[in-house]
């Protein structure tokens, strides 16, 4: 097993015991989760979403085989990545089912498809939603306060959507029309109109299937946050240009009770639709009084001579863009300069820091834009949390820098060498999903290289590999390495959140050095890494306490330094005054008998070389995953040998032969950690709590560390554990 990938609760210290009722429930849940999974029938939902946003995918292998043939990998593609970018979430084959848990996802609308071996796309047949322009896509909604305007309005309280067929350019076209609650074609009231454009190649129904336009209008209308209006949603076919808009306006006027004057007409759109909306308003200022561009790509404007006419005839021009991953970011920067030069009045919603050119951003744009139409508003500034344009975003020229290139605000540009110019599908796999889970972000072909900019990433430590046509390769332009995982590379995003993972100033930290020892278990010379604190004195009268820290399966003694950032964590905590000066020994646990390896080889070698204590009350032992299991094994076989014991993402195992009283008498601290439900050992871990409770063993468990079976979790476990050692 290759061990892969946090938060430490601030609950009061002390032993946490689980009530019997909860223990019994945990045992039932664990039994269900650990039992062999039967094949999933075609009508069993492939997707389930918990109340807290964890999304579980379970795809029957038989269905995949029948509809796509034999596949070596299966992913769920969707808007799961940073800034809601399109990403691939890999599923794991477990018996007859491909499955995986992703989350927690932020509230909002998600769209996805299932894909085998990069090219074999499947529609989820158990999800009744659909996207007209993307036949393989399905959608699901994660509710929450931040997405309340995207939720369905109570039945009977919303407006109505119906198709409108019209002719333009000698052919028949279709639009979608939303009419507000209370609308009557024969009533006395006429309504203003918003013409909402889709992007090139988009369908009019995209605004309904992906943009949640009906829900937005229904909810804004119910809250009286928008003027009653008719909204006409057009497709993305721009072949007929201005004539299409003219013919559509006439068809709407002929069929609906609408106001025809330009003061009562608005136009907006996404990407190329936003460009067309701006051109319509700026080139013909007598037609639309309101214009909105959502990730529009217009870079110039009407000349200075037209400024007076535009400023008189257009009440509102409002521009929207996502962050630097949005192609409109640079275009908007240029357009604002052009409008300033031309002295054309406009408003800018600011840069959305959390979304790029996608429906999650455009939903927010629509929510901001619509309440500004056909009424007076007092707030003309950017949306909350949105920032200014900071000039154009230009990554380095191809081949000029090591990768990845880390820019301001956590945006990272990846680039391959020219070795993969003939590849068909290239992604970057990294721990940038929620809480450190893993997603693959597709790269785009750029000449003979593949490239993508991803972000914003939170300050933290990241690791990744490049996947080329389903084969993992090392980013050779990145000098970092992971000894136990030759295809991995790493990078670091600085910031306060990641301070404990950053390097301390040169000369202020402890030292890490190699210790060679003879393993009588493996019958070979082996190596451990040892951290000594700043100011370590080999001749100090009082020996230092010692902490033995073990890696997981598929890893080795180098991983806690290369991946776990143990040196950085220990250095910072020592300099902060949070750490008892200690020696930390990171040995090689890949042996048939770890108890013997530790007690007969690693411990004697460490004592011979370093000024460390042999007093059990001054010794600690912890490990992750496999190393956590080994730690429990030592605790059971030699209770009291180590007064401080901890296990990260590992189960206690069998209760047979365990001397609970000896463990309690000899252990000052037994603290256990686990990731959330995305950590595959979560069920067995929870069962372990039951085992230890029934045995009467005292332990501390402060709740799950959000994240999967991986380094994001284990780094935070070490951050929580190390300051607790040797203080009782």
- For the beta carbon of residue 421, count every other beta carbon within 10 angstroms: 12
For the chain, list the domains and their CATH numbers.
Answer: 43-143 (2.60.40.10), 149-372 (3.40.50.1820), 405-500 (2.60.40.10), 512-724 (3.40.50.1820)
* Listed residue (72, 89, 1) closest to 484, CA to CA: 1
Distance CA 400, CA 407 (A): 15
- Using only the alpha carbons of the chain, give its radius of gyration: 30
How much is the pLDDT for 303? 53
- For the beta carbon of residue 121, count every other beta carbon within 10 angstroms: 15
The answer to whether the beta carbons of residues 218 and 137 sit under 8 Å apart is no
Residues of the chain short of pLDDT 70, as ranges, are 1-42, 301-305
How much is the pLDDT for 284? 85
The answer to whether the beta carbons of residues 205 and 279 sit under 8 Å apart is no
pTM of the model: 0.90
Give the contacts of 347 (CB within 8 A, at least 6 positions apart): 316, 317, 318, 319, 380, 381
In sequence order, the β-bridge partners of residue 167 are 172
Calculate helix-pair angle for 566-575, 711-721, nearest 10 degrees: 30
Distance CA 651, CA 250 (A): 70
Sheet holding 97-102, edge to edge: 47-49, 55-60, 97-102, 92-94
How much is the pLDDT for 319? 98
CA angle 518, 520, 525 (to 5 degrees): 30
How much is the pLDDT for 306? 83
What are the CA-CA distances from residue 194 to residues 259, 370, 699 (Å)?
A: 11, 9, 63
- For the beta carbon of residue 160, count every other beta carbon within 10 angstroms: 12
Give the contacts of 376 (CB within 8 A, at least 6 positions apart): none
How much is the pLDDT for 42? 53
**Residue 611: phi, psi to the nearest 5?**
-85, 75
Instruction: Return the structure tokens found at 595.
Output: 């108890």
């Amino acid at each position: 097993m290759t061990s892969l990938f946090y938060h430490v609760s601030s609950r009061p210290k002390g032993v946490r015991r689980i009530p019997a009722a909860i223990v019994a429930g945990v045992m039932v849940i664990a039994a269900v989760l650990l039992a062999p999974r039967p094949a999933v029938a075609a009508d069993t939902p492939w997707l389930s979403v918990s109340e807290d946003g964890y999304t579980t995918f379970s795809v029957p292998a038989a269905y995949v085989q029948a509809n796509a043939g034999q596949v070596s990998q299966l992913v769920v593609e969707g808007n799961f990545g940073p800034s809601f970018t399109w990403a691939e979430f890999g599923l794991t084959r477990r018996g007859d089912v491909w499955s995986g848990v992703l989350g927690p996802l932020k509230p909002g609308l998600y769209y996805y498809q299932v894909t085998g071996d990069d090219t074999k796309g499947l529609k989820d047949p158990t999800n009744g939603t659909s996207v007209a322009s993307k036949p393989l896509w399905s959608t699901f909604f994660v509710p929450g306060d931040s997405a309340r305007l995207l939720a369905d309005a109570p039945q009977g309280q919303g407006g109505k959507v119906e198709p409108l067929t019209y002719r333009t350019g000698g052919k028949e076209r279709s639009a979608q029309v939303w009419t507000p609650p209370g609308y009557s074609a024969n009533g006395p009231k006429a309504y203003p109109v918003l013409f909402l454009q889709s992007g090139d190649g988009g369908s009019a129904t995209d605004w309904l299937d992906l943009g949640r336009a009906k829900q937005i209008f229904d909810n804004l209308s119910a809250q009286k946050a928008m003027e009653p209006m008719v909204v006409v949603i057009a497709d993305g076919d721009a072949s007929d240009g201005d004539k299409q808009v003219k013919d559509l306006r006439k068809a709407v006027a002929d069929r609906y009770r609408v106001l025809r004057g330009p003061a009562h007409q608005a136009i907006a759109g996404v990407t190329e639709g936003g460009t067309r909306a701006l051109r319509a308003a700026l080139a013909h200022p007598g037609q639309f009084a309101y214009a909105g561009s959502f990730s529009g790509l217009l870079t110039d404007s009407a000349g200075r001579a037209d400024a007076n006419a535009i400023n008189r005839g257009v009440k509102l021009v409002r521009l929207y863009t996502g962050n630097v991953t949005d192609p409109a970011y640079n275009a908007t920067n240029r357009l604002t300069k052009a409008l300033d030069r031309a002295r054309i009045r406009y408003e800018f919603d600011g840069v959305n820091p959390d979304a790029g050119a996608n429906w999650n951003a455009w939903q927010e744009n629509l929510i901001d834009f619509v309440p500004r139409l056909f009424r007076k508003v007092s707030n003309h500034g950017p949306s909350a949390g949105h920032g200014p344009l900071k000039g154009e975003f230009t990554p380095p020229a191809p081949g000029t820098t090591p990768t990845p290139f880390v820019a301001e605000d956590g945006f990272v540009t990846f680039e391959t060498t020219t070795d993969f110019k003939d590849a068909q599908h290239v992604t970057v796999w990294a721990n940038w999903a929620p809480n450190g889970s893993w997603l693959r972000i597709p790269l785009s072909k750029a000449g003979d290289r593949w490239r993508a900019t991803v972000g914003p990433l939170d300050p933290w430590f990241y690791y990744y590999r490049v996947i080329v046509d389903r084969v993992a390769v090392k980013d050779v332009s990145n000098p970092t390495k992971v000894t136990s995982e030759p295809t991995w590379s790493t990078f670091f995003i600085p910031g306060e959140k990641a301070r404990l993972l950053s390097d301390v100033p040169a000369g202020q930290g402890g030292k890490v050095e190699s210790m060679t020892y003879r393993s009588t278990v493996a019958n070979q010379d082996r190596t451990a890494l040892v951290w000594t604190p700043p100011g370590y004195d080999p001749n100090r009268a009082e020996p230092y306490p010692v902490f033995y820290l073990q890696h997981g399966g598929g890893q080795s003694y180098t991983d806690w330094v290369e991946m776990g950032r143990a040196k950085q964590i220990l250095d910072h905590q020592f300099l902060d005054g949070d750490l008892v000066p200690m020696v930390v020994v990171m040995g090689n646990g890949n042996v048939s008998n770890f108890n013997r390896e530790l007690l007969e080889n690693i411990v004697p070698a460490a004592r011979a070389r370093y000024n460390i204590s042999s007093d059990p009350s001054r010794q600690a032992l912890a490990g992750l995953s496999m190393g956590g299991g080994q730690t429990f094994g030592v605790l059971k076989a030699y209770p009291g040998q180590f007064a401080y014991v901890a296990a990260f993402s590992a189960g206690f195992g069998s209760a047979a032969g365990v001397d609970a009283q000896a463990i309690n008498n000899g252990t000052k601290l037994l603290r256990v950690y686990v990731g959330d439900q995305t950590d595959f050992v979560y069920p067995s871990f929870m069962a372990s709590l039951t085992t230890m409770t029934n045995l009467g063993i005292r332990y501390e468990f402060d709740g799950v560390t959000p994240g999967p079976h991986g380094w994001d979790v284990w780094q935070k476990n070490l951050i929580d554990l190390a300051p607790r050692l040797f203080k009782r």
